[in-house]
Structure 1
Amino acid sequence: MNWRGAKHIELAIWAIWLGSLWMMAVLVAPGLFKWLPRPEAGLVAGRLFYMLSWYTVITSVFLLAISTWLGAVQASVRLNILMGALLVLAVVELLWMHPTMSQMRQAMADAAPDMVPVMKSRFGRMHAISSVLYAIKMIGGLAWGLSRYSVKPAD
């Protein structure tokens, strides 16, 4: 495969990954909470975000590998550091955020009624942290691709 073909594959993988991140945040998650009861919507959304974290790990590794193979390491170390940071962020989500939030959800279901408000507050804080990390991942992925493919604002 020549350089041009590999670059097109890289671009397609980046676009599909980035589109899936934004689609989940903008359409899928809000739709779930609009049309399903809150507990079920939370379970489905949590599982989808978990799968998307795995997809981010796989995609990040692939994009780092192919950009290195294409010689982009010498061209832009900052871009590869950014993608590496997005990879680390996805691993943090997989190893800490998702298991913790899942345990909290289960604990709320099993908790005595007087403990539920305290647990909901803790879950809300964890959800806020998760939302910030996800937003960083979405914006970081967009910035990576726009820089990688030399997309510049119009003058």
Structure 2
Amino acid sequence: MFDLCFSNMSPRNRNTEPKGVIMDAREGMPMASAGCSGCGTCAGNCPTKAITVDDGWRVDLGKCIFCMDCAMVCPDGCIEERPAPDYALTREELVVSADTDIESLEKPLDPSVRRMFGSSVALRELDTGSCNACEVDLNCMSNQFYDMHRF
């Protein structure tokens, strides 16, 4: 029994990815180009139902898990990966379409807002069936060693 445990802990038996693969992970959002026919195949295959095509192609980044399944099933091949905004100030700003100006979403904060909420932190975790390591890391952020309140 212990031989199996020790052999699994050995570095040569671990499945690892090169640093380049990990660092080049997807950080973009799906976006349909002007050639979208509005067929709805992407919306039907979206696991979180983040895409709507009723009155133009739109994606809700609050629901999207950035899996890019929509791009793989698009019969027209018009869904591409574009840089996603780093933050949004309102829930409505998370619903984007092809004519949304992403740079305008990332406008600087008003000085009065920065003064009031400058040291506030809100962490959002999307757990899609993981090993719970991310949840443990978030819980550790508030202990005495990794005190996030000091930032």
Higher strand share: 2
Higher helix share: 1
With CA pairs under 8 Å and 6+ residues apart, which has the higher RCO, 1 or 2? Answer: 1
> Do both proteins adopt the same fold according to a TM-score greater than 0.5, normalized to the shorter chain?
no
Q: The TM-score by the shorter chain falls in which range?
A: under 0.3
**Normalising by structure 2, what TM-score?**
0.24
**Normalising by structure 1, what TM-score?**
0.23
